[in-house]
Amino acid sequence: MRKLLFAFVATLFSFSAMAGGHAEWWKNAGAPYAGTTLQGIAENTPPGQFAGDVLAKEFEALTGIKVRLENTSWDQMYDKAIKDMEANSGIYDFVYIEQDIVYDYLNRDFLVNITEGLASNPDLQAPGVSLDDFTTFIDYFKDGSGDVFGVPMEAFIKVYLYRKDLFGRADAKAQFRAQYGYGLTPATSFDQWRDNAEFFTHFCAEQGMECWGTTVQGHTGHPASTYEFLESIAPSFGLYNWGVNMDSYQSCVENGGQLNGGRAKAALNFWTQLLPFAPPEALQSTWSEVGSSFAAGRAAQGWVYGENAAWIATDAEKSAVVGKVGVMLPPTAPGVMTQAASGNGYIGYFDGGAYGIPHSSKNIEATMLWLQFVAMNDHQADWAIAGGRITHKDTYADPKVMAVDEQADGYFSLMRDTGFLYAGAPPFPFHGAGRGAIDPFIYSALAGEMTPEEALDGACQALDQVMADLGYQD
């Protein structure tokens, strides 16, 4: 909180300089809409909080346009945003578009074409703001002709976090070598991950510490676990695009898919076998709880979303492991790294989202101004520090970001240098329906009610049924 306050004050102070010669432009551009309140909805994440608490206030001070951003849970965000856009009710002037849902939104023509909107209204084009400043992550929010439908506000990769202090302990190293016959290091293979997890679970218990060997984002009633499997674990085993054959839209092996193939089963087996070495809350943990568990020092290693990596590593008010966090790429199965480097695969999920304007918005022009304000270069560094996200190319080189990068064991550098190995979700317009069909099988595998093999056989049949129902297999 103090950090956020500091960021707010610092940004306010630097704001006159930031707006520079453009402050007058913003004032004039906002004048016709002064007094308007823009209503937005987004997922409650550190970047979203920064936008609502800091950027919205600056924007109001500059233009007179008030921004009320409703940062809520992931489920509620989707529920409210989609219902609003479907009903064309115009409650929200801008909505959060997660990278994986953008194909659904574009398919259903929910969003305003921002490129076209700005081109047809030059008076709204803010000086010094260019969509070219964004990293390639903005490409996920473009249609086939290259027009932008969402302005990225967060982008981060899924990394492997580990506890440097635990892995560095001499007694742990000696005990591990005696037990497993090789040295204790952060995992570079899945076998090593499992050994580390088993070892630290017992080691922590012996030492009277409340910690376990690994995180597992394994909620048995929330899609977070399906996403974890499909977007992080399965790709690192070489299973891409949910195992769906992108030509025939089939996912079962017998029909040409891969969702119940060897790689998928190896991935799910690996993941479920980690459960005995995960904190007891693992089966009720979404991405947020995994971040909190790691920050509380309850896990020695794990897959953690990058939006949490920075604060876990640097924010002593919220994290008990500041200065003790190491960041690496997660292990991958043989061949996966080569495929990812050549663009024929990916090692994990490049997550993030953008703000877009629904057609139903009653204040499209004022919202265009707000989205351009969000896209300004000037506040990107503070936003990156507060939210662990980077959407602009130049942000990596900002001195403030580089300082935090050092404290966060090179998380930002890792994203800059290896981001190309990651990918967003596959371009499925049926994203929600497909995932919903898979969910119960992943939940059952995690709960031990089904073997991973049974779960994936069932999941692929359910997914194929959905794709057939929706007409994708014709």
Partner 1 sequence: MFSNNKKGWLLLSPTIFILIIVGLVPFFYVLYVGFFKWNPLAVDPSMQFEGFGFNYRRLIFDGVFLESIWRSIKFSVVTLTLELSLGFLLALSLLSSFPLKKFFRGVHTLPLVIAPIVVGSIFKLFTVQGLGPLPHLLKDYFGYTLNYGMNAEQAFWMIVIMDIWHWTPFVTLTLLAGLSALPQDPYESAKIDGANNFQIFLYITIPMMVPVLIVVIFIRLMDSLKIVDEVWMLTGGGPGYATRFTGIHIWKEVFEKRYYGLGSAMSILYLYITIVICWILYSVMVSRGKSED
| Binding letters toward partner 1, positions 266-285, x by CB under 8 A | -------------xxxxxx-
Q: By CB under 8 A, is residue 233 in contact with partner 1?
A: no
| Binding letters toward partner 1, positions 319-358, x by CB under 8 A | ----------------------------------------
Q: By CB under 8 A, is residue 24 in contact with partner 1?
A: no
At residue 67, what is the residue type? V
d(C-alpha 460, C-alpha 406), whole Å? 43
d(C-alpha 298, C-alpha 205), whole Å? 11
**Between 109 and 254, CB nearer to partner 1:** 109
Q: How far is the CB of 430 from partner 1 (least distance, A)?
A: 5
d(C-alpha 395, C-alpha 167), whole Å? 31
Q: By CB under 8 A, is residue 177 in contact with partner 1?
A: no
Q: By CB under 8 A, is residue 246 in contact with partner 1?
A: no
| Cβ atoms < 10 Å from Cβ of 127 | 12
Residues 6+ apart with CB under 8 A from 195: 176, 180
The answer to whether residues 159 and 414 touch, using CB atoms and an 8 Å cutoff, is: yes
Q: By CB under 8 A, is residue 426 in contact with partner 1?
A: no
The answer to whether residues 428 and 101 touch, using CB atoms and an 8 Å cutoff, is: no
72, 135, 220, 372: which one binds partner 1 (CB under 8 A): 220
Q: By CB under 8 A, is residue 144 in contact with partner 1?
A: no
221, 256, 262, 343: which one binds partner 1 (CB under 8 A): 221
3, 158, 219, 324: which one binds partner 1 (CB under 8 A): 219
Q: By CB under 8 A, is residue 244 in contact with partner 1?
A: no
**Between 87 and 403, CB nearer to partner 1:** 87
Long-range CB contact pairs, 253-260, < 8 A, 24+: 253/460, 255/464, 257/460, 257/464, 259/456, 259/459, 259/460, 259/463, 260/453, 260/456, 260/457, 260/459, 260/460
Q: Please count the CA atoms within 13 angstroms of the CA of 1 that sit on its side-chain side.
A: 0
Q: Residue 70: beta bridge partners? A: 41
Subset of 58-117 contacting partner 1 (CB under 8 A): 79, 82-83, 86, 104, 107-108
Q: Residue 325: beta bridge partners? A: 163
**Between 3 and 298, CB nearer to partner 1:** 298
Query: Checking DSSP bridges between strand 66-72 and strand 37-43, what pairing results, if any?
Result: parallel
Q: By CB under 8 A, is residue 465 in contact with partner 1?
A: no
124, 433, 451, 453: which one binds partner 1 (CB under 8 A): 433
436, 451, 453, 454: which one binds partner 1 (CB under 8 A): 436
Q: Residue 327: beta bridge partners? A: 161
| Cβ atoms < 10 Å from Cβ of 34 | 13
**Between 126 and 300, CB nearer to partner 1:** 300
Q: By CB under 8 A, is residue 251 in contact with partner 1?
A: no
Residues binding partner 1 (CB under 8 A): 79, 82-83, 86, 104, 107-108, 218-223, 279-284, 293, 298, 429-433, 435-437, 439-440, 443-444, 446-450, 466, 469-472, 474
